[in-house]
Amino acid sequence: MSQVPPISRSSRVVVVGAGAVGCFYGGMLARHGVDVTLIARAEHVKAITAHGLFMNCQTFQAHVPIRATTELSAAAQADLVLLCVKSPDTEATGLALRQVLSPHTVVLNLQNGVDNAPTLQRLLPNPVFPAVVYVATAMEGPGQLKHNGRGELVMGEMNTPGALTAPEGQGPQAQRLLSEVATLFAAAGVPCDVSATVKDALWFKFLINCVVNAVSAIGQIEYGRMVLVPEVRTLLGQLTTEFLAVANAEGVHFDRAHVDETFEGLYRSMAGQRSSTAQDVARGKRTEIDHLNGLLTRLGQQHGIPTPTHQALYALIKLLEFRQQAAA
């Protein structure tokens, strides 16, 4: 078994798909003195190269010097890749990375949904670890990040049938790598836990996204305001019931009382936040709905479980995307 070099403050980190999430975590590491390169859109690269990444965070505001490029080839120098592309781009990005990554590069998947890390594990021979992201961020302009709340990560080892993952991404060496990555983030001010039940954590985040994202997007409304509508409250409850039935069939079990309590806390703590899907729709961008309510609907069909409310939201978001594409 080959030995992957330790992940430490001297490691080279490359953020692939540096939007709001990638800029937050990459920026936090860079602020700690880590060598970070952001692979981002041209307008962000131009602004960041000229002025640094402006981080408007809850605890500080600063221009953080950090390298930025549009070229995926920059990932060839990475010891650690933070993969943050939108879910529809996962497969194409994984295939492209396979041509440039060092065999020892560790890939940390920071995407929404439950199917992205398995896709990457089937495409890449590198150690690939899923991470559950709990942060509210947005890009307010080229090279300008706004942090609205939270920021913690939960990471873990996940075995996927048909994975190409080398021995470095399994067992004791995988736990060493996860511990080193968690230590690196913690030193940069990002709470980071290594969990043996990361699949459950991924599915719980998947639950939250499937229940609130599309509703917030269709209404173009913040979480705190949308739950003031009684009919929406009923809809959210139906979405939760359908999701839990599918999760149970997938071997993931959640306590309904705990789930409902978590949602009530989210509506209070993130009352002014709109979902990432709402932000995508507002900007005329492609959403991740195929990997959220769309995926939940497909899983329901596989298990013979009706998911009519998820199917309805999925269809409505696809309609909004169709209208935007037609207008463009």
CATH code of 210's domain: 1.10.1040.10
What's the average model confidence in pLDDT over 268-282? 92
> Is residue 321's pLDDT more than 70?
yes
The predicted structure's pLDDT at residue 1: 40
Residue 70: Cβ within 10 Å count: 14
The predicted structure's pLDDT at residue 327: 86
**What span, in angstroms and rounded, lies between the C-alpha atoms of 14 and 25?**
11
The predicted structure's pLDDT at residue 185: 98
> Is residue 226's pLDDT more than 80?
yes
Q: Which residue intervals of the chain are DSSP H helices? A: 20-31, 42-51, 90-98, 116-123, 171-187, 198-219, 223-226, 230-249, 256-269, 276-282, 293-303, 308-327
Residue 60 sits in a domain whose CATH number is: 3.40.50.720
Domain boundary among 164, 196, 228: 196
The predicted structure's pLDDT at residue 166: 56
The predicted structure's pLDDT at residue 169: 57
The predicted structure's pLDDT at residue 136: 86
The predicted structure's pLDDT at residue 202: 97
Asked whether residue 158 falls in the same domain as residue 237, the answer is no
Asked whether residue 108 falls in the same domain as residue 50, the answer is yes
Query: Is residue 7 domain-resident?
Result: no
In one-letter notation, the amino acid at residue 213 is N
Query: Is residue 37 domain-resident?
Result: yes
Which pLDDT band holds residue 2 (cuts at 50, 70, 90)? low
What letters, b where the CB count within 10 A reaches 16 and e where it falls short, cover 311-328?
bbbbebbeebbeebeeee
Q: Write down the mean pLDDT value for the chain.
A: 95
What's the average model confidence in pLDDT over 66-94? 97
> Is residue 314's pLDDT more than 80?
yes
Query: Is residue 115 domain-resident?
Result: yes
Percentage with pLDDT > 90 across the chain: 89
Whether residue 106 contacts residue 126, with contact meaning beta carbons closer than 8 Å, is answered with yes
Residue pLDDT, tens place only, 150-167? 999 999 998 888 877 655
Closest Cα partner for 127 from 73, 67, 178?
Answer: 178
Which pLDDT band holds residue 170 (cuts at 50, 70, 90)? low
Whether residue 294 contacts residue 317, with contact meaning beta carbons closer than 8 Å, is answered with no
What's the average model confidence in pLDDT over 258-285? 94
Asked whether residue 157 falls in the same domain as residue 251, the answer is no
What's the average model confidence in pLDDT over 292-309? 98
Domain boundary among 147, 173, 196: 196
Query: Is residue 4 domain-resident?
Result: no
Domain boundary among 196, 225, 240: 196
In terms of pLDDT, which residue wins out, 10 or 172? 10
* Least confident segment among 110-114, 116-120, 164-168, 179-183: 164-168
Asked whether residue 186 falls in the same domain as residue 223, the answer is no
pTM of the model: 0.93
The predicted structure's pLDDT at residue 36: 98
Which pLDDT band holds residue 275 (cuts at 50, 70, 90)? very high
The predicted structure's pLDDT at residue 160: 85
Asked whether residue 163 falls in the same domain as residue 214, the answer is no
Residue 168: Cβ within 10 Å count: 20
Query: Is residue 79 domain-resident?
Result: yes
Total domain count, the chain: 2
Its domain, for residue 214, covers: 199-327
Asked whether residue 172 falls in the same domain as residue 35, the answer is yes
